[in-house]
Structure formats: structure tokens, C-alpha cells
Amino acid sequence: MTGAAIEANGLGMTYGRKRGWALRDCSFRLPAGRICALVGPNGAGKSTLLALAAGLLRPTEGTVRVLGSTDRAEIRPRIAYVAQDKPLYPQLTVADTLWAGRELNPATWDGDAADRIAAPLPRDAKVRALSGGQRTRLALALALAKRPGLMLLDEPMADLDPLARHQLMGLLMAEAAEHSTTIVMSSHILTELEGACDYLLLVDGGRVRLGGESEDVVAAHALVTGQVRDLAPHTVIESRTTGRQLTALIRPDGPVDAAAWDVAEPSLEELLLAHLRSPDAPPLLTPSAHAREAVAAA
Ligand SMILES: Nc1ncnc2c1ncn2[C@@H]1O[C@H](COP(=O)(O)OP(=O)(O)OP(=O)(O)O)[C@@H](O)[C@H]1O
């Protein structure tokens, strides 16, 4: 079993006594070296989870271990966190910002990686004069050139045009593969994640609903179509009937009766949408996504 990039045990966070839980009872493990899609509806707790992993928030309960440590000062130099609003110094130029990145990370700074990502940006432009997408590009250049073990990216592609998105996604994937960087990327663009991410965390209502290798999570489900009848003993995530025809996303418990049902593998997008529409469906974590402490306690 490889080391964990993130391991959460009973992780919970509330922003104030009266506010309720932003995240609750989260126990999962993200093995190192994965590219993980963090998905969920607005307000699900994705940013909270990323900020906890980045050490910017203290858990209200439970623990989050990052790259094997819970010591936030020790973790910080080894991670890169790009927040949703891409905070940068508006009065600095692009060149100054990259220079500051190098000065702050002298041991690890990869100037070539920074140049590759920041190539289209005018070096003498002030950050405050950059567009949202250009700021994102600069923030990603800083994050990647730091050569972190773990990149935590909160909706990094949201304000990029399709071409820039495609190019930066490709660059990130290639760099991550070459340097075994773990990436956690929150996004609402499900189609885009399908090709890029090999691991999945679905958070909803502050809880982890799905976790594990994307392939395994998909393989644990089936899309079945047939005449309306009982689907027991399988777990039905979502079903709809049209006349006498039933279509359902199920988690099979044993072989599905091929004489009674047309069976297909759902796409990742179909699977995620079905779970988002069915908040009461039971959670599923594949074995690699089980927190070790949780496993030990079971
Ligand atoms: N600084 C804050 N103070 C108070 N409540 C907060 C704060 N940040 C987030 N919350 C609350 O915590 C919950 C989870 O929010 P979070 O931003 O983590 O969700 P998200 O999944 O990232 O959402 P989105 O997809 O809209 O970015 C929400 O109910 C939100 O209102």
C-alpha cells in the first residue's frame, strides 16, 4: 500500500456554534500520486476540506494528516494551495510575482515549469490588470514551480477559456505524472474530470459520499434497463419508470439477471449526477480510500 497524501479521520468543521457543520464525520484516505477530482454541489464542503488539508483551518473535530504529518508548519512548504479567489498581490507585476515565488521557495523552485505555464502572460503587467483567467494561470505557475508533493486546487479551471483549460490541464497532468505529485482538484465541470482524474471524492452535505479509484467506483455500479420489477437484492441509487420500462443506477449485490435486464456501465458523469440527485444513497469507499485508523477500529 502506498503512503497517503491525505488521511482524514472523523474530520469535522463548523465555522461557528450557530452555523452547523460545514464538514462532518469525514474519514477517508487519498493515496499519494493520484489525481483526485473533488466534486459536490455548492456548499457541500469542498473548499472547507481543501483549506483544512492546506492547514489554513483548524478542524473542529477529528484529524487530517497530510503527507504523513499533522504538523502544519512542517506540511506547508511541501504543499501548494490555490484558493478559489486566487489571492495574489495586485500591485506586483507578473515578473515580480514569479521572482517572489522563487525567493520564497529557493530549494525547490522550478523556473522552467513557471515559464512554461506563465508564457502567455505579459511579464511587466501588474497583477491587478490581469484578467481572471490570467490570474489563474499565474497562481498555477507559482503552485507548480514550488514542486510540492501535494497540490490542492480549488476550482482552478473555472475562469479559463476552453483552450487555456485544455492546455493547462494537460500541462498539470504531465507535470504531475513526471514528478509523482498528488493533485486534488475541486470542480463542477464533470466531463472535464472524467479523462483527467484517476481518483474521486464526492462530498455532499459535509460528508464523503463516494471515494476511491474512479474506475473502481464506476465498476461498482451498473445502469440497468428492463420491465418494471423488484431490483432486490441490489442497492438502487436512482430509478425512473417510463410506462412499463424501468431504468436504474444500481450497486449490484451479486450478479445481475442478464435475462431480465440490459446492463451497461455508467459514465462517471451519469454516476455522479445520479448520486447528487439521490442524497440518501448509501456511501461507498473503495478499499484504498478507507482511512487506516477507521479500518483498524472496524
Ligand atoms: N468563512 C465561512 N464562514 C462561515 N461559513 C462558511 C465559511 N466558509 C464556508 N462556510 C459554510 O460552510 C459550508 C461549506 O462551504 P464550502 O465553501 O466548503 O462549500 P463548497 O463545496 O466549496 O461550495 P462551492 O461549490 O459553492 O464553492 C457552507 O454551508 C458554507 O456556507
CATH number of the domain encompassing residue 206: 3.40.50.300
Confidence at residue 98, expressed as pLDDT on a 0 to 100 scale: 97
Residue 295 lies in a domain: no
Confidence at residue 189, expressed as pLDDT on a 0 to 100 scale: 80
pTM above the 0.90 mark? yes
Confidence at residue 280, expressed as pLDDT on a 0 to 100 scale: 92
Picking from 173, 193, 215, the residue at the C-terminal end of a domain is 215
Residue 97 lies in a domain: yes
| 127 and 265 both lie in a single domain | no
> Which of 46, 190, 202 most suits a substitution to test ligand 1, by most atoms within 8 Å of the C-beta?
46
Residue 274 Cα to ligand 1 midpoint, Å, equals 23
Beta-ladder partners of 26:
11
Confidence at residue 78, expressed as pLDDT on a 0 to 100 scale: 93
Residue 50 lies in a domain: yes
Residue 177 lies in a domain: yes
User: Exposed/middle/buried for 183, CB within 10 Å: 0-12, 13-18, 19+?
Assistant: buried
| d(C-alpha 110, C-alpha 87), whole Å | 21
| 208 and 117 both lie in a single domain | yes
Residue 114 Cα to ligand 1 midpoint, Å, equals 31
| 37 and 98 both lie in a single domain | yes
The phi and psi torsions of 152 (rounded to 5 degrees) equal -110, 110
| 151 and 12 both lie in a single domain | yes
**Buried b / exposed e along 112-145 (16+ C-beta atoms within 10 A):** ebbeebbeebeeeeebeebeebbbbbbbbbbbbb
> Which of 19, 47, 155 most suits a substitution to test ligand 1, by most atoms within 8 Å of the C-beta?
47
Residue nearest to atom 14 of ligand 1 (CA): 45
Residue 57 lies in a domain: yes
CB of 45 within 6 A of ligand 1: the answer is yes
Per-residue pLDDT of the chain (298 residues; tens, 9 = 90+): 568 999 999 999 999 878 889 999 999 999 999 999 999 999 999 999 999 999 999 999 999 999 999 998 999 999 999 998 888 999 999 999 999 999 999 999 999 999 999 999 999 999 999 999 999 999 999 999 999 999 999 998 888 888 888 888 898 889 888 999 999 999 888 777 778 899 999 999 999 999 999 999 999 999 999 998 889 899 999 999 999 899 999 999 999 998 899 999 999 999 999 999 999 999 999 999 998 765 555 5
CB of 12 within 6 A of ligand 1: the answer is no
Residue 251 Cα to ligand 1 midpoint, Å, equals 30
Picking from 215, 239, 257, the residue at the C-terminal end of a domain is 215
Cα 14–72–56 angle (5° rounding)? Answer: 40
Number of residues that this document lists for the chain: 298
Number of domains comprising the chain: 2
Residue 30 Cα to ligand 1 midpoint, Å, equals 22
- The closest-lying atom of ligand 1 relative to the alpha carbon of residue 40 is 21
CB of 242 within 6 A of ligand 1: the answer is no
Residue nearest to atom 31 of ligand 1 (CA): 43
Would you tell me how many other CB atoms lie within 10 Å of the CB of residue 225?
13
CB of 93 within 6 A of ligand 1: the answer is no
Would you tell me how many other CB atoms lie within 10 Å of the CB of residue 100?
14
The phi and psi torsions of 157 (rounded to 5 degrees) equal -100, 0
- Per the CB < 8 A criterion, the answer to whether 92 and 126 are in contact is yes
CB of 47 within 6 A of ligand 1: the answer is yes
Instruction: Return the C-alpha torsion angle 156, 161, 167, 168, nearest 10.
Output: -20
| 9 and 119 both lie in a single domain | yes
Confidence at residue 175, expressed as pLDDT on a 0 to 100 scale: 85
CB of 48 within 6 A of ligand 1: the answer is yes
Residue 78's nearest CA partner among 88, 66, 86 is: 66
Residue 292 lies in a domain: no
CB of 42 within 6 A of ligand 1: the answer is yes
Confidence at residue 296, expressed as pLDDT on a 0 to 100 scale: 54
Domain that holds residue 253: 216-281
